[in-house]
Chain A
Amino acid sequence: MVALTSGRLSMNKWVYLLVLVAAPVFADASGGPGSSENAPSGVAQGRQIYEQYCAACHGRQGEGAANWKKPDEKGEIPPPPHDETSHTWRHSDAMLFKMIADGWRHPFNKSDRLTMPAFGKQMTAQEIQSVIDYLKTLWTEEQRDYQKTESQ
């Protein structure tokens, strides 16, 4: 049974992040200039893209907007966190991909606009997936396990 409590970053989480970020660095050491290993790893690339496109609304550390659980003065649900305190980890890879590519509007928002813009024209499929891979580093081990099951 999966315990779904949120908490501070665990040691396992840091180890997971370190491995994901560091592994390509070691791989790069064996590759020559221009080799594919010079391309940013999925997670490192995802972090760059996240900071470029997502952090302004969802927070540099994925902390989300303040009071994200209640509609703002426009009647719109503010951008939620993407870290372990929120619910991003409850969605499958396919659903996360769809939301990034196509955007999202909460059905009970008072406005009609996509409060989560569509990034399908700015990002390639590989880039979107790299953002998802980066988001996974913000979750607990248990949350990653849950999300992995949801993605199957």
Chain B
Amino acid sequence: MRTIVHSTTRAAWRLCLLTLAILLPALAQAQSADDAQPVTSLTISSSGALLVLQGSDLFAIEGGTLTEITLPATNQGAQHTSLARGADGSIYVAGPGLGVWRYDSAGENWQPLNDTLPDLGVTAMAAHATQPGTLYAYLGKDGMFRSRDGGAKWVRVDSGPPEPVLAFLHSDMPGSMESGWLFAATTRGVSRSMDCFCFWGDAGDLRGTVSAIGYDPAAPENVYAVIEGQLHHSADGGETWISLKTPQSVTALAFSPSQGLVVGTANGNLLARGGANEWAPVHE
């Protein structure tokens, strides 16, 4: 990933090519060990930086610069699986054994938001699209929790869809009785509910284990879902879906104001979809 985003000089390219020519077999083996780690989750910061969660590493990519952000120290067995950006720009990370944490950019540290959660088994989290303090966390059998004060107080609001939720998002797509919609990536497909938790229903007939889900904030009817590395797109809020061809197996996705749809792949790469629906490496 670093090779994708670092700007290099011509001299450096020559040196790299020479090195590659001499050490290609060894490098190939090293690359499969280092860069083959799938991208776990993506989001976009309020400044437009692409935040990339890759295993236990978090990177911010902006203006050709890659910065590593130290993740919160965790208990053994804890996993970082979800990234989210709040309506006020706050960045959250969550995962099983980890709970939910918010990044304090001023202090450059993480604050746990787990005091009133029943346990740390958060398998998915989302932030409200327009309400800064409203967060959602899914804790498997314990159901769905909502906080309206930035994570100080969590209240169980629903059991969630019938199938386990692997990821979910809040969208300000119009038409809700309340303030928006929740789209959940489940083991059966995409499940959808207004954010009153009125009723979880199938979003179309897309079937399979959905591992990642995202939407276009500028055109919220456009929802994207990943099943077994295959990217799918709905242009009507989840009613109908089509498959999108991608050069690599997709594991994460986000919408960048500058680059549009960005996906992370099983190979650890970042690709952006261009105007001609062609995929190219991300250059921030």
Contacts and interface: CB of A to CB of B under 8 A. Distances in A.
Nearest to B195: A90
A90 B198 contact: yes
B177 A1 contact: no
B239 interface: yes
A99 interface: yes
Q: Which of B118, B196, B197 has the most CB of A within 10 A?
A: B196
Interface in A65-89: 69, 80, 87
A49 to B, nearest CB: 22
A84 B118 CA distance: 26
A13 interface: no
Nearest to A105: B175
Interface string B146-183: 00000000011111000000000000001111100000
Nearest to A87: B198
A80 B198 CA distance: 10
Interface residues of B, number: 18
Contacts of B118: 1
Given A4-B159, A87-B198, A95 B175 contact: no
Nearest to B145: A1
B89 interface: no
A91 B158 CA distance: 14
B237 interface: yes
A4 B201 contact: no
B156 A2 contact: yes
A136 B134 CA distance: 26
Given A1-B155, A4-B157, A4-B158, A95 B178 contact: yes
Interface in A25-69: 69
Contacts of A2: 155-156
Given A87-B196, A87-B197, A99 B177 contact: yes
B197 A107 contact: no
A1 B154 CA distance: 9
Nearest to B118: A1
Contacts of A107: 174-176, 237
Contacts of A104: 177
A69 B201 contact: yes
A108 B155 CA distance: 29
Interface string B232-249: 000001010000000000
Given A2-B155, A4-B159, A95-B178, A69 B196 contact: no
Contacts of A80: 199
A87 B237 contact: no
A104 B199 CA distance: 16
Interface string B42-63: 0000000000000000000000
Interface string B211-244: 0000000000000000000000000010100000
B138 to A, nearest CB: 15
A1 B156 contact: yes
Contact of B156 (A4, A91, A95, A99): A4
6 contacts: A1-B156, A4-B157, A87-B197, A90-B198, A107-B175, A108-B237
Interface of A: 1-4, 69, 80, 87, 90-91, 95, 99, 104, 107-108
